Protein backbone atom coordinates (compact mmCIF):
# COMPACT_ATOMS: atom_id res chain seq x y z
CA UNK A 1 0.00 0.00 0.00
CA UNK A 2 1.15 3.51 -0.73
CA UNK A 3 -0.27 6.76 0.63
CA UNK A 4 0.31 9.97 -1.26
CA UNK A 5 -0.73 13.06 0.70
CA UNK A 6 -2.61 15.71 -1.22
CA UNK A 7 -0.13 18.40 -0.23
CA UNK A 8 2.67 16.30 -1.76
CA UNK A 9 1.04 16.09 -5.20
CA UNK A 10 3.11 17.90 -7.82
CA UNK A 11 0.70 20.33 -9.54
CA UNK A 12 1.96 21.91 -12.76
CA UNK A 13 0.60 24.66 -14.99
CA UNK A 14 -1.33 23.48 -18.04
CA UNK A 15 0.59 24.36 -21.21
CA UNK A 16 -0.92 26.90 -23.63
CA UNK A 17 -0.82 24.39 -26.48
CA UNK A 18 -3.43 22.26 -24.63
CA UNK A 19 -5.40 24.74 -22.49
CA UNK A 20 -6.93 28.23 -22.54
CA UNK A 21 -6.93 30.12 -19.25
CA UNK A 22 -5.38 29.11 -15.95
CA UNK A 23 -5.27 25.32 -15.50
CA UNK A 24 -3.22 23.17 -13.13
CA UNK A 25 -2.96 19.40 -13.02
CA UNK A 26 -1.29 16.69 -10.98
CA UNK A 27 -0.95 12.97 -11.51
CA UNK A 28 -2.59 10.83 -8.82
CA UNK A 29 -1.17 7.47 -9.84
CA UNK A 30 2.34 6.20 -10.44
CA UNK A 31 3.31 5.40 -14.01
CA UNK A 32 3.52 1.65 -14.52
CA UNK A 33 4.88 -0.69 -17.15
CA UNK A 34 1.86 -2.94 -16.55
CA UNK A 35 -0.85 -0.42 -17.42
CA UNK A 36 -1.20 2.91 -19.17
CA UNK A 37 -3.84 4.11 -16.72
CA UNK A 38 -3.57 7.85 -16.04
CA UNK A 39 -5.45 9.51 -13.18
CA UNK A 40 -5.09 13.29 -13.11
CA UNK A 41 -6.54 15.94 -10.86
CA UNK A 42 -7.22 18.99 -13.03
CA UNK A 43 -8.20 22.41 -11.67
CA UNK A 44 -9.63 25.12 -13.95
CA UNK A 45 -10.11 28.80 -13.10
CA UNK A 46 -13.46 30.27 -14.22
CA UNK A 47 -13.74 30.13 -18.01
CA UNK A 48 -10.58 28.02 -18.45
CA UNK A 49 -10.84 25.00 -20.72
CA UNK A 50 -9.00 22.37 -22.70
CA UNK A 51 -8.47 22.54 -26.43
CA UNK A 52 -10.28 20.03 -28.66
CA UNK A 53 -8.99 16.50 -28.08
CA UNK A 54 -9.87 12.80 -27.89
CA UNK A 55 -8.65 9.68 -26.10
CA UNK A 56 -7.87 6.30 -27.73
CA UNK A 57 -9.90 4.34 -25.15
CA UNK A 58 -12.16 7.10 -23.84
CA UNK A 59 -12.11 9.29 -20.75
CA UNK A 60 -14.02 9.45 -17.47
CA UNK A 61 -14.37 12.85 -15.82
CA UNK A 62 -15.46 12.88 -12.17
CA UNK A 63 -16.30 16.41 -11.01
CA UNK A 64 -15.05 17.15 -7.49
CA UNK A 65 -16.02 20.82 -7.15
CA UNK A 66 -17.45 23.67 -9.18
CA UNK A 67 -19.34 23.55 -12.46
CA UNK A 68 -17.97 21.77 -15.54
CA UNK A 69 -18.83 22.39 -19.18
CA UNK A 70 -18.22 19.46 -21.56
CA UNK A 71 -19.00 19.65 -25.28
CA UNK A 72 -18.54 17.29 -28.22
CA UNK A 73 -17.75 18.15 -31.81
CA UNK A 74 -21.33 17.33 -32.84
CA UNK A 75 -22.64 19.99 -30.43
CA UNK A 76 -23.75 17.88 -27.47
CA UNK A 77 -23.22 20.00 -24.32
CA UNK A 78 -23.54 19.00 -20.68
CA UNK A 79 -23.06 20.88 -17.44
CA UNK A 80 -21.86 18.77 -14.52
CA UNK A 81 -21.38 19.44 -10.81
CA UNK A 82 -19.80 17.80 -7.78
CA UNK A 83 -20.32 14.03 -7.79
CA UNK A 84 -21.29 13.92 -11.49
CA UNK A 85 -19.46 11.71 -13.96
CA UNK A 86 -19.10 12.41 -17.69
CA UNK A 87 -17.85 9.71 -20.08
CA UNK A 88 -16.32 10.51 -23.47
CA UNK A 89 -16.10 7.34 -25.59
CA UNK A 90 -12.99 6.28 -27.48
CA UNK A 91 -12.07 8.72 -30.23
CA UNK A 92 -14.84 11.25 -29.47
CA UNK A 93 -13.58 14.78 -30.13
CA UNK A 94 -14.49 16.97 -27.16
CA UNK A 95 -13.36 19.68 -24.75
CA UNK A 96 -14.05 20.38 -21.07
CA UNK A 97 -13.49 23.16 -18.61
CA UNK A 98 -15.01 25.43 -15.99
CA UNK A 99 -18.16 27.50 -16.34
CA UNK A 100 -17.55 31.24 -16.79
CA UNK A 101 -18.60 32.01 -13.21
CA UNK A 102 -17.11 29.01 -11.37
CA UNK A 103 -13.76 27.35 -10.90
CA UNK A 104 -13.87 23.57 -11.33
CA UNK A 105 -11.78 20.57 -10.37
CA UNK A 106 -12.22 17.08 -11.78
CA UNK A 107 -10.46 13.75 -11.87
CA UNK A 108 -9.58 12.63 -15.39
CA UNK A 109 -9.25 8.89 -15.80
CA UNK A 110 -7.88 7.51 -19.08
CA UNK A 111 -6.03 4.51 -20.42
CA UNK A 112 -5.08 3.25 -23.84
CA UNK A 113 -2.49 5.82 -24.75
CA UNK A 114 -1.79 9.51 -24.82
CA UNK A 115 -4.38 12.23 -25.35
CA UNK A 116 -4.77 13.07 -29.03
CA UNK A 117 -4.83 16.86 -29.39
CA UNK A 118 -6.69 18.18 -32.45
CA UNK A 119 -4.47 21.25 -32.74
CA UNK A 120 -7.21 23.82 -32.32
CA UNK A 121 -8.54 25.93 -29.51
CA UNK A 122 -12.16 26.17 -28.45
CA UNK A 123 -13.57 29.41 -29.81
CA UNK A 124 -15.62 31.76 -27.63
CA UNK A 125 -18.67 30.80 -29.71
CA UNK A 126 -18.06 27.08 -29.11
CA UNK A 127 -17.52 27.72 -25.41
CA UNK A 128 -20.63 29.83 -24.95
CA UNK A 129 -22.96 28.01 -27.27
b/e per residue 111-122 (b: at least 16 CB within 10 A)? eeeeeeeeeebb
Burial of 62 (0-12, 13-18, 19+ CB in 10 A): middle
Can you give the pTM of this predicted structure?
Answer: 0.92
Name the band, by pLDDT with cuts 50, 70 and 90, for residue 33.
low
Tell me the CA distances in angstroms from 82 to 65, 109, 117, one per residue in order.
5, 16, 26
Name the band, by pLDDT with cuts 50, 70 and 90, for residue 5.
confident
pLDDT of residue 128: 85
Name the band, by pLDDT with cuts 50, 70 and 90, for residue 36.
confident
**Cα angle, residue 93 at apex, residues 96 and 101 outer, rounded to 5°:** 15
pLDDT of residue 9: 83
Among residues of the chain, what percentage have pLDDT more than 90?
A: 79
Tell me the CA distances in angstroms from 118 to 16, 27, 63, 81, 92, one per residue in order.
14, 22, 24, 26, 11
Mean pLDDT score across all residues of the chain: 93
**Domain range list for the chain:** 27-128
Please state which CATH number belongs to domain 27-128: 2.60.120.10
Amino acid sequence: MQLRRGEDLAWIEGPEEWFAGEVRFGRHNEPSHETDLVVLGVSFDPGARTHWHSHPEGQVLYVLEGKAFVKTEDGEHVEAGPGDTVYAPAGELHWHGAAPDSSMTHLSITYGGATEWAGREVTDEEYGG
